Amino acid sequence: MTEENFKLSAKDVNLWFGNKHVLKEVSVTFPEKKVTALIGPSGCGKSTLLRCFNRMHDLSPDARITGQFMLESQDLYDKHVSVTQARKRVGMVFQKANPFPKSIYENINYGLKINNIPAKDRPEIIERALKESYLWEEVKDDLKKPATRLSGGQQQRLCIARTVALRPEVILMDEPCSALDPISTRKVEELIVQLKEQYTIVIVTHNMQQAQRVADKTVFMYLGEVVEEGSTDDIFRHPKQELTQNYVGGHFG
């Protein structure tokens, strides 16, 4: 993958939890309207890195971060950028589906409400978000149903709908399929591929096949460092580093 317009980037990032040095001199870029997979063994810091981009560490008192996180030319940690503004532009889908204990409709409506989107526009946005997440056909007749009664896969797609409803520029996904069965996983993966037409997506995954199915670019991390990054094809077929080769070949992790 050659140098191109990247949407999101991290430069010289170090992160400590207390005395533990979790991210070490990480620099990485994510191309616009592409899917980038972050792979690596458990504890390599990939989720930690992902969470930096929508400032999820702000509330952990023992986390210390240095370096730069840029969304295009905007420093996400700039003093003049409010954390809620940053999170509106960089949405996040979590490992475990976490719908609000409200109805399906309210799950999406809530985000619109707190982001001051006029009430008259909301029904249309909600319908569009559910359609974009391929959930509309399954839920259109009972939008009033509690979201917690949906299946795990439907819940995760609702969480994605909740995120896309806010029209973010980037969607971060932290192992979105790790708790799903193969059929639900397939649906979410198809959705991810569809969504990249409009959004820049960064996905953390443990699943090598998943990375190859959905990602254009892959970043391999190990012990808090970026070992290798490149097109998914290069990382899986022609890795330059021995470590990468061993990991994608299934020798450890």
Binding residues for another protein (CB under 8 A) = 54, 56, 59, 61, 84-85, 87-88, 91-96, 98-101, 110-111, 114-115, 146, 148, 159, 162-163, 166
Nearest-approach distance from CB 96 to another protein, in angstroms? 5
Nearest-approach distance from CB 105 to another protein, in angstroms? 14
Nearest-approach distance from CB 128 to another protein, in angstroms? 16
Provide the token pair at 133: 């997440």
Q: Which lies closer to another protein via its Cβ, residue 5 or residue 84? A: 84
Provide the token pair at 241: 């580093």
Residues in the chain: 253
Q: Which lies closer to another protein via its Cβ, residue 77 or residue 110? A: 110
User: DSSP string covering 82-117, please?
Assistant: -HHHHHHHEEEE-SS----SSBHHHHHHHHHHHTT-
Provide the token pair at 107: 């799950």
Q: Which lies closer to another protein via its Cβ, residue 160 or residue 248? A: 160
Nearest-approach distance from CB 103 to another protein, in angstroms? 9
Q: Which lies closer to another protein via its Cβ, residue 91 or residue 224? A: 91
Nearest-approach distance from CB 123 to another protein, in angstroms? 18
SS3 of 134, please? Answer: coil
Q: Which lies closer to another protein via its Cβ, residue 115 or residue 246? A: 115
Task: Give dist(CA 117, CA 95) in Å, integer.
Answer: 27
Give the strands of the sheet with 63-71, arranged side by side: 20-31, 6-17, 63-71, 74-75
